[in-house]
Amino acid sequence: MRVNNLLPVYFSKNLFKNLIFCLFAAGFFIFIIDLIELSRRITKSNDSDLLLAIELAILKLPGMILEIFPFIILFSSLSTFFYFAKRSELIVARASGISIWHLLVPGVSLILIIGFLTTILIQPLVAITTYKFKELEAKSIRGQTSLITITENGLWLKDSDLNNNSYRIINSLGFDRDENYLENVIFFNHSESGQLISRYDADKVFLKPNYWELENIWIYKNFEKTEFLEKKEIRTNLTAEQIQENFAPPETISFWNLPGFIKIAQNAGFAATKHKTEFQSLLALPFFLSSMLIIAAPFSVRFIRSESVNNLILAGIISGLILYTFSNVIYAFGASGNIGPILSAWSPPILAILLGISAIIYIEEG
């Protein structure tokens, strides 16, 4: 009875150790690869700046680790099972009457706890670093000066004039995706030094190629109405695609802020389908991570029955890769609105868990 209690704890400790090792190993290689790639991009756009490349690589690292975290779980699970099989501990466990289920239950419980902590604690921090990375990358590498955000007060745009380095802050209550126009718009025009020059209040503003078309405009200077115009054109570098798709990438928003953001985005005229899918995916993340352990288990049970251990490990990795690819494809369908966000997020882990359990029952119970 004592062995039955100690072995699952021993398995969970080894699983956690391998998880930490795989996490640091993956983080190191990702950082080196991103550092080289970012250095190359910075060199092509500006002068070589190693400190900027290091800063960008550090900011990008948490998001990349979160992206491949399911694979880290898969590798740590396979390595743990392989370690047990190599030391004949699986054979001893089975000989003493302990089945694979005694090891899986604490292992799955550990992964579920890590998954929940990742969703509610780690992901909000990753969202901050991802947002800072995208902002710094846009300014320093791509030279993008226009910023697009959305709040309870509507849509806010920063549109820069590259000719004289001035800029304008634009506020609108909503955006019509079909007609490409803003309603109830205010233009706050600033000089290069940041001083407010004038303000335009317009009923409607249409986004045309390379310019804004304002209708029924009141012009304010020194906080007083000075002129009324029926139409006015202002040059811009913004496009409708930037406003519709890039106003706030879902990976830059905290798990806790996503529901409120989705509601605000819908009130402003945005579908927010990507954000709904991202929210459901974060809810399903602990179960998706657990499915990686369950997928690895059937191949690991075979370790003690077969000499082709390398082939079994390769088969486990390929199965995890297929599951990961399937999950990304389904996520893309959900983000584009072709299938529902709930189906897109929950179908891969549920399917993987059912298939994994079925395979374990078939192998273990015959």
pLDDT in tens, 317-344: 888 889 999 999 999 999 888 899 999 9
Give a yes or no: residue 198 inside a domain: yes
pLDDT grade for 1, boundaries at 50, 70 and 90: very low
Which residue, chain included where needed, has tokens 């890039």?
246
Find all residues with CB under 8 Å of 338, minimum gap 6, and list them. none
pTM (two decimals): 0.80
Range of the domain at 220: 147-237
282 in any annotated domain: yes
Q: 8 and 137, same structural domain?
A: yes
If one counts the domains in the chain, the total is 2
Establish if 254 belongs to a structural domain.
no
Rounded to an integer, what is the distance from CA 206 to the centroid of its chain? 32
49 and 32 share one domain: yes
Per-residue model confidence (pLDDT) at position 224 = 73
Q: Look at residue 249 and tell me if it is in a domain.
A: no
> Closest Cα partner for 266 from 154, 168, 352, 358?
154
**Which of 194, 220, 237 lies at the terminal end of a domain, its last residue?**
237
Picking from 237, 263, 289, the residue at the C-terminal end of a domain is 237
Looking at the domain assignment, is residue 159 inside a domain?
yes
**CA dist., res. 160 & res. 65, Å (int):** 34
Nearest to 170 by CA among 126, 183, 162, 1: 183
- Tell the residue number behind the tokens 């890769």, with chain if given: 321
Residues 48 and 120 in one domain: yes
DSSP codes of every residue in 179-222: TTEEEEEEEEEE-TTS-EEEEEEEEEEEEETTEEEEEEEEEEET
259 belongs to a structural domain? no
**Where is the domain boundary, 190, 219, 237?**
237
- Residue 256 falls within a domain, yes or no? no
Q: From the CB of residue 181, how many other CB atoms can be counted at a distance below 10 Å?
A: 20
How does DSSP assign 124-161, residue by residue?
HHHHHHHHHHHHHHHHHTS----EEEEETTEEEEEEEE
Residue 257 within any structural domain of the chain = no
pLDDT tens-digit map of 273-319: 888 999 999 999 999 999 999 988 887 666 555 556 677 778 888 88
